[in-house]
Amino acid sequence: MLITHDTPSLGYKRQLAKRFDRASHSYDAYAGFQKIVLERLLAKLPVETADTVLDLGTGTGQALGYLSGRLTPKNCVALDLSQQMLAVASDRFSSLQNTHYVCADAEQLPFQVASFDLIFSSLAIQWCLSPERLFDQLYHVLKPGGCVVFSTLLEGSMPEISQAWSSIDDKAHVHQYMKAKSLFDCVENGRLRLLSSECANVPMWFDSPEKAIHSLKKVGASLISSDESKTLPPSAWKHFLREYEKQRSEQGIPLSYQVAFVVAQKPMYVQE
């Protein structure tokens, strides 16, 4: 069952949804990094069963089969901002029982208070505009004693791209991610208790700068906005590729990420 809810009238969120809509059919073929992070995050699940599960930012549903098979939930909700991503996920897992697909914004969750035993989210929350609002939302929809298990990108991700652009201009061509301490503070300020946290560098390697950038675009993580791409001269792009090529090693062209893996819990006894 596919349910749609309106998202806030924010140009950023509309652009984001369109980007991931366009990437929905190429995502899985280029999501090597996302799969590595997902496997590490799944290994950190703190429970063996959960009656109600929310897969926040489900994308093409890479985690759905595992969550449903291991946790055997009575009700599983796959939520994403992209309707096309949800369509791919629902087609892939059409045989899953008690799974519902909801198109909505993580910062405006359309669920009642204390709806879920577990919230799982891999590499999705970095796209939120307000981490404070996000964790407030997660707190309210978690049941007392429920857990949120998530991964997200941190400051220092994709330094190779920042370095290559630095000789061309002083613009931020890479999404600005949170510092680890700021992230953990947001979790705790959101009234969630940190059970575990880990920060890790995850490097990827490509045959060429073009393939590294192509891999980002094919999963919806475009570096340059549509407006900026219209004004960027071809010479600047060629200069960027030459600078990026200088970072080649024996393993290839590097593209590395700083990733946080977090498990947090809503206290058992709370006052809403």
Residue 237: pLDDT over 50: yes
User: Could you read off the pLDDT of 239-266 as tens digits, one per residue?
Assistant: 999 999 999 999 999 999 999 999 999 9
pLDDT of residue 70: 94
Look up the pTM and report it. 0.93
pLDDT of residue 226: 46
User: Could you read off the pLDDT of 12-22 as tens digits, one per residue?
Assistant: 899 999 999 99
User: Could you read off the pLDDT of 165-176 as tens digits, one per residue?
Assistant: 998 888 877 888
φ, ψ at 116 (rounded to 5°) = -125, 140
CA 158 – CA 152 distance, rounded (Å): 13
pLDDT of residue 173: 79
| Closest residue by Cα to residue 56 from 114, 5, 112, 104 | 104
Superfamily (CATH) of domain 2-157+175-205+257-265: Vaccinia Virus protein VP39 (3.40.50.150)
CA 200 – CA 69 distance, rounded (Å): 27
Please, what is the average pLDDT of the chain?
A: 92
Residue percentage of the chain with pLDDT more than 90: 85
Q: How confident is the model at residue 8 (pLDDT cuts 50, 70, 90)?
A: very low
pLDDT of residue 231: 63
State both tokens at 138.
Answer: 């997660």
pLDDT of residue 225: 46
pLDDT of residue 202: 99
The vertex-22 CA angle with 205 and 235, nearest 5°, equals: 60
pLDDT of residue 149: 99
Q: Where are the domains of the chain?
A: 2-157+175-205+257-265
Residue 7: pLDDT over 80: no
Residue 86: pLDDT over 50: yes
Strand partners, 193: 265
- For residue 57, CA distances in Å to 83, 109, 270 come to 11, 12, 27
pLDDT of residue 1: 54
Residue 228: pLDDT over 60: no
